[in-house]
Structure formats: C-alpha cells, structure tokens
Amino acid sequence: MEITVEKQEGVTIVRLPGEQLDASNAKDFKRDIASILAPASKVVFDLSQLRFVDSSGLGAMLSCLRQVNSAGGELKLCGLSKPVRALFELVRMHRIFDICDTKDDAVRVLQT
C-alpha cells in the first residue's frame, strides 16, 4: 500500500490510496501507517479517494486514532465521499472522529 505523506505547517497529511479500505488491505494499512504516526502529533487523514470502508477499515482507522490520542496528539479526517460519510454516520463513528470538509480546514483546525 503506497501511502502518500506530506507536511504542511507542522501537520502530517496522510493520503490513503485506493478506493477501498477493507479486509483486503486494512492489515497492510495498519502496518504501513505505524511508522508514520509514531513521530507525528498532528495528523490529517485525507480520505478523498476512498469510496468504501468496512469494519476492518474502520477498525484500522480507530486503532490509529487511539494510537495518536494516547501519545497526546490529534487526528482529523477530511475529504469523506458521500458513501464513506454515510457509513461513518451509520455506525456513529462521525462522533468519535473529528471530521473536516477539506484538507485546508483540517490543517487550520489543528493549528489553532
């Protein structure tokens, strides 16, 4: 899984590749993201390419949130497509995660 990482004003922005995060690639995602999250305290997951998430994908993102939170950092999500947003709302994960409309919004919130 080729995760794209960029830095913007002290914030680590992670773009998830591919249209789905599910049982087929959630394990790879967790493995690859671990080293990126370790030194980062302010993180944005850009989900704009994502069209489908299942419970293993949600579980992987939840693990990331817990990892960042336990290290005293913050994680925001942005760019959720309509079906992914609907899924988050169905399982009430939109309350657990901080979700911003755009990447710039997320960076701005993290800098305040």
- Is 82 an interacting residue with respect to other proteins (CB under 8 A)? yes
Buried residues in 34-68 as b, exposed as e (16+ CB within 10 A):
eeebeebebbbbbbeebeebeebbbebbebbbebb
Residue from 3, 18, 54, 73 touching other proteins (CB under 8 A): that is 54
- Is 31 an interacting residue with respect to other proteins (CB under 8 A)? no
Residue from 4, 69, 102, 111 touching other proteins (CB under 8 A): that is 69
Closer to other proteins by Cβ: residue 11 or 57: 57
Q: How far is the CB of 89 from other proteins (least distance, A)?
A: 6
Number of residues that bind other proteins (CB under 8 A): 32
Binding segment for other proteins (CB under 8 A), chosen from 1-9, 42-50, 51-59, 103-111, is 51-59
Could you list the residues that contact other proteins (CB under 8 A)? Answer: 20, 23, 26-27, 51-60, 62-63, 65-66, 69, 82-83, 85-87, 89-92, 95-98
